Amino acid sequence: MERNNLYPIFLKAKNLNILIVGGGYVAEEKLSFLLKSSPDACVTIVSPMFREDTLSLSKKGDVTLIKDQYSKRYLKGKHIVIATTDVPKVNVKVYKHCRKRSILVNVADNPPYCDFYMGGIVTKGNVKVAISTNGKSPTTAKRLRQFFEDVIPENVDDLVKNLNEYRKTIKGDFGQKVETLNEFTKGLIAKKEV
């Protein structure tokens, strides 16, 4: 059976310089998901054209629009790049330039040219759940995201905050604190007898 070997991480997007290459619908979709999850993300988009909705969306965050053809000079100082053009040759060029500079890159809808995937994300206060299908099925990730949005209660953030306060009052070393919290929270996921 095939297995998902991706390593999930949560990035502080406001501390990173992100570049999106392309100004079409896919670029807009990537920007939208990025700003929804990380409204404080620092994003630059380079493209010879931008959709009207992308122009509007860019005003909702720290987004710089550059009306130009892609050039490797736009990679300077970037940490993450997302290539979304409808010209495969340009996307592959972006990928090769990024790999040469050790910049993480994602070529939209082209898994062999991706160092990472942008999966489904559910956010409820301080709780964030990321969903990956190993780049195989964005539709499945979307459906799972919708499922988790429904089943994770809106007040889960209260639980997180209360447990954090309780954690501060626990005495002992790290191991003892973990054991106490594990025992205290066991009932949260107790399976009901059928």
- Tell me the CATH number at 74: 3.40.50.720
Residue 147 forms part of a structural domain: no
Q: Which domain holds residue 29?
A: 13-118
Angle between helices 156-169 and 174-185 (to 10 degrees): 140
The burial of 63, by beta-carbon neighbours within 10 Å (0-12 exposed, 13-18 middle, 19 or more buried), is given as: buried
Tokens representing 45 are: 């988009």
Number of domains present in the structure of the chain: 2
How is residue 69 written in tokens? 């053809």
> Has residue 95 been placed in a domain?
yes
132 within some domain: no
Phi, psi of 159 (to 5 degrees): -60, -45
Same domain flag for 19 and 76: yes
Place of tokens 């005003």: 59
Per-residue buried b or exposed e for 143-164, using 16+ beta carbons within 10 Å of the residue's own CB: ebbeebeeeeeeeeeeeeeeee
Report yes or no: 22 and 1 within 8 Å, Cβ to Cβ: no
Residue 65 falls inside a structural domain: yes
Can you read off the two tokens belonging to residue 55?
């122009």
Q: How far apart are CA 194 and CA 192, in angstroms?
A: 6
160 and 113 within one domain:
no
Whether 112 and 65 map to the same domain: the answer is yes
Tokens of 75: 């990679």
Kindly state whether residues 160 and 110 are assigned to the same domain: no
Inside any domain, residue 139: no
Which one of 71, 95, 118 terminates a domain? Answer: 118
Q: Are 105 and 168 contained in the same domain?
A: no
Same domain, 49 and 114: yes
Query: For residues 106 and 120, is the Cβ–Cβ distance under 8 A?
Result: no
Judge whether 151 lies within some domain: no
Residues 20 and 114 in one domain: yes
Report in angstroms the alpha-carbon separations of 55 from 41, 61, 78, 81, 184. Answer: 16, 11, 21, 19, 49
Statement to judge: residues 18 and 109 lie in one domain: yes
19 and 113 part of one domain: yes
| Dihedral pair phi/psi, residue 87, rounded to 5° | -115, 100
| DSSP reduced 3-state for 137 | coil
pTM of the entire predicted model:
0.82
| Digitized pLDDT (tens) for each residue of the chain, 194 residues in all | 788 888 889 999 999 999 999 999 999 999 999 999 999 999 999 999 999 999 999 999 999 999 999 999 999 999 999 999 999 999 999 999 999 999 999 999 898 999 998 888 888 888 888 898 887 887 888 899 899 888 888 888 887 787 777 778 888 888 877 787 777 777 666 554 44
* 75: in domain: yes
